[in-house]
Structure 1
Amino acid sequence: MLTDREQQIVELLRRDPLMGSEALAAAIGTTRASINVHLSNLGKKGVILGRGYVLATEPGAVVIGGANMDLKARSATRATPGTSNPGEGSMAPGGVARNIAENLGRLGDRVHLVSVVGRDALGETLLSHTAAAGVRVEHVARTDDVATGTYTAVLDADGELIVAIADMTATAHLGADHLRAARDVIASADIVVVDGNLSREAFDLALDLASGRRVIFEPVSVPKAAGLRDLLDARVHGVTPNRDELAALTDLPTRTDRQVRQAAAALHQRGIELVWVRLGERGSLLSAGDGIVEIPSVPTTVEDVTGAGDSMLAAFVHVLLDGGEAIEAARFGHAAAALTIASPHTVRPDLTPRLVSATLESAAPDTAAPHPKEPA
């Protein structure tokens, strides 16, 4: 008969049989030595037969990029520029890649995060929280050279972003050695998500290491999209820009839908199969080369927009991992984004596939209904 702690360990190993004792200890809140004792007992009981023996063939994702702490300040009333505004602040783990990984972990997917954080208290908090959400963090490197990155966002009273400052110096330390150390999990992943926080050298190497895998590129911002655009080629399966990022990736105008189609076609010509363009409240356009589908957003109330795009992409990947079509995945992504926007959390702690599905089903009929393809 298994003890309660052994049951916890077994559940975590069912999600990822390659999970190390350090990650198990962080997820459960105990010591590595204690975990090793439990693993030994589980081996004696015949419950585990070796690392990766049972579940190693399950599809999983690797997310490569930024991990930092989010510092959010929200004005109590409509913000007045150039002066102090009353409000409230909060701090929680963030970073585009890390947020995507946590959302995937909460959706029940096997996921590894590849990133860099400082060897400091913020980095320790970030790793413990992320591991507890079901994310494998063995390939998050620690460095003494720089502090854990921060993302400082100022929100208006309605939760809309006014301005944000991102200190991603730690992520800039993600180099060839770190990526090569994770090459086995990258090469065995079903989907690899890479965010735009990587240096050009790291981004290029990540695409090479992920050869043969479905790679999804999240540009993150206009400057970062512009800095990496010439590296985009057939090694990338899909990109997920907004209008401005799409313009930066292609050096083409994207103000009208016609221009968006033309810009998406330019990326298809480079060998990129999927171009999923976010249009804010309107929804998104999904281009698969032979046509474009417009997908409306899921109605919601705005509590905080931070992290909506990250949950949207994670839910998209979740459906692809399960064998779903891209259109189905995009609709699921919009429902996850709506849930995040309605929450004060950057990543909802109660996120589950059932909750996302229920949100999608309860949306207006035209939100979930298929939309005809239009010529590209």
Structure 2
Amino acid sequence: MAATPDILCIGAVLWDVIGRSASTMRLGSDVPGRITRIPGGVAMNIAMTLTRFGLRPALLSAVGRDVEGDALLAEAEAMGMDVGHVYRSDDLPTDCYMAIEGANGLIAAIADAHSLERAGAKILAALENGALASVDAPWIGSVALDGNLTEELLRDIATSALFAAADIRVAPASPGKAQRLQPFVGHPRATLYVNLEEAGLLCHCSFDSSADAARALAERGTGRVLVTDGGRDASAAKAGGACHTATPPEVLVTRVTGAGDTFMAAHIAAERRGAGDRDALEQALRAAAAFVSGDTPQ
């Protein structure tokens, strides 16, 4: 019998096609740079970081039965992930993400996660059929959820008996999908990882600091909340508990896609090693800084 994975990463597993330039860019810019294709998607990015910390994540996602899908899962397996529970579709292509980054940050991005959305609850089959869990024996470990899942599926997960004993970690895929996470605002077993803009969207207001945002979401009954704000202070708060704030290291930013996923995964890994609230926050900020500076492999 295969070993039980350390954590489930549920969501987008796709190819990232990213164009990066050292030039400052604006609408209509045509500049030299580099174009890469690498494994990506929120669930995959989190899983890749977890493997660098010595953990074995299992992917629950939808990947096409195409050349791109075969290559993507082969790379994931080579990195140490459990890919045996990924839903393989005969008629849906492998999803893709495309982004343009310049010296002034992310210029534009398009996430094509239509196959994941159309697959819906099929990606959770291993949590129902006994392969990983069942209604009678729900998953009791950590779960990393991705905001690329549909609103309907996220609502179902928030109340499903399959996740009744799980440590649920949730990240929006982007500010544009932050509202999908509303079922986890006020969820006592959920940990939300959001940036300042996403926190404001979830609370239907704006915040001046990460600490204000983290406290506001925690006061709504959310189990735990971590709020980042780029290179400015980040904060972590618990429902009915303390709020901790830390400043990320100053680094030269060479890439941004995947930074939030790296932060989330590093925080999970730090806590599994026994780090306390403040220490785990600081370790996650250092890992994210190393990623955006290019010191961490991608």
TM-score where L is the length of structure 2 = 0.88
Q: Is the 2:94–2:115 Cα contact (8 Å) retained in structure 1? A: yes
Q: Is the 8 A contact 1:114 1:182 kept in 2?
A: no
> How far apart in 2 are the matches of 1:257 and 1:323?
24
| Residue 278 (structure 1) aligned with residue 224 (structure 2) | no
3-state SS, counterpart of residue 109 of structure 2: strand
Structure 2: distance between partners of 1:226 and 1:179: 22
Change (3 A) 1:110 1:80: closer
Query: Larger strand proportion, structure 1 or 2?
Result: 2
1:228–1:145: structure 2 CA closer, same or farther, 3 Å change rule? farther
Q: Deviations over 1:34-82 (max 9, x none)?
A: xxxxxxxxxxxxxxxxxx5xxx5xx821111111111111235322422
- CA distance in 1 between counterparts of 2:233 and 2:246 reads 6
Residue 324 and residue 257 in structure 1: after superposition, are their counterparts in 2 closer, same or farther (change >3 A)? Answer: closer
> Unmatched 5+ residue regions in structure 2?
none
> What amino acid maps onto 2:169 in structure 1?
I
What is residue 297 of structure 2 aligned with on the other side? 348
Cα distance in 2 for partners of 1:131, 1:258 equals 38
For 2:210 and 2:56, how far apart are their aligned partners in 1? Answer: 36
The 3 A distance-change label for structure 1 pair 126 and 189 is farther
CA offsets 1:117-169 (integer angstroms, 9 cap, x no match): 1222221121111111111011211113322111111011x272111111111
How much has 1:257 moved relative to structure 2? Answer: 5.3
Q: Is the 8 A contact 2:16 2:97 kept in 1?
A: yes
Q: Rate the CA distance shift 1:155–1:321 in 2: closer, same or farther, 3 A.
A: same
Q: Give the Cα separation in 1 of the matches to 2:271 and 2:156.
A: 24
Match of 2:238 in 1: 288
Choose which of 161, 165, 170 in structure 2 pairs with 1:217: 170
Amino acid of the structure 1 residue aligned with 2:115: A
Give 1:132's aligned residue. Answer: 78
Give, in whole Å, the separation in 1 of the partners of 2:55 and 2:10.
16
CA contact (8 A) 1:229 1:248 kept: no
- Aligned residues of 1:65 and 1:171 also touching (Cα < 8 A): yes
Q: Distance in 1 between matches of 2:210 and 2:194?
A: 14
Measured at CA, do residues 104 and 231 of structure 1 come closer, stay the same or move farther in structure 2, by a change above 3 Å? closer
Give the one of 141, 145, 169 matched to 1:190. 141
Please state how far the C-alpha of 1:335 moved relative to its aligned partner. Answer: 1.5
What letter matches 1:169 in structure 2? H
Q: Which moved more, 1:70-79 or 1:103-112?
A: 70-79
Map of 2:208 onto structure 1: 255
Contact 2:17-2:99 within 8 A present in 1 as well? yes
Range with bigger deviation, 79-88 or 116-125: 79-88
* 1:109-124 equivalence runs, <5 A: 109-124=55-70
Q: Which amino acid aligns with 1:306?
A: T
**5+ residue gaps, structure 1:** 1-16, 19-51, 350-376
Across the aligned residues of Structure 1 and Structure 2, the Cα RMSD in angstroms comes to 2.3
CA distance 1:114–1:261, change in 2 (3 Å): closer
Amino acid of the residue matched to residue 210 of structure 1?
F
Q: Which has the larger radius of gyration?
A: 1
Give the equivalent residue in structure 1 for 2:260.
309
Is the alpha carbon distance of 1:310 and 1:275 closer, same or farther for their aligned partners in structure 2, counting shifts above 3 Å? same
Distance in 2, Cα, partners of 1:189 & 1:339: 31
In structure 1, the partner of 2:187 is 234
Counterpart check, 1:168 vs 2:83: no
Residue equivalent to 1:103? 49
Q: Aligned residue pairs: how many?
A: 289
Structure 1 position 90 matched with structure 2 position 43: no
- SS of aligned partner of 1:105: helix
Report the counterpart of residue 220 of structure 2 in structure 1: 267
Is the contact made by 2:139 and 2:165 (CA closer than 8 Å) also made in structure 1? no
Q: TM-score, normalised by structure 1?
A: 0.71
How far has the Cα of 1:256 moved from its partner?
4.2
**Judging changes above 3 Å, is the alpha-carbon distance between structure 1 residues 203 and 80 closer, same or farther for their aligned structure 2 residues?**
closer
What SS does structure 2 have at the residue aligned with 1:246? helix
Maintained 8 Å contact 1:119/1:142: yes
Q: Is it true that 1:143 corresponds to 2:94 in the alignment?
A: no
Deviation at 1:319, TM superposition (A): 1.9
Separation in 1 of the partners of 2:41 and 2:21? 22
Tell me the SS of whatever aligns to 2:207: coil
How far apart, in 2, do the equivalents of 1:288 and 1:165 lie? Answer: 33
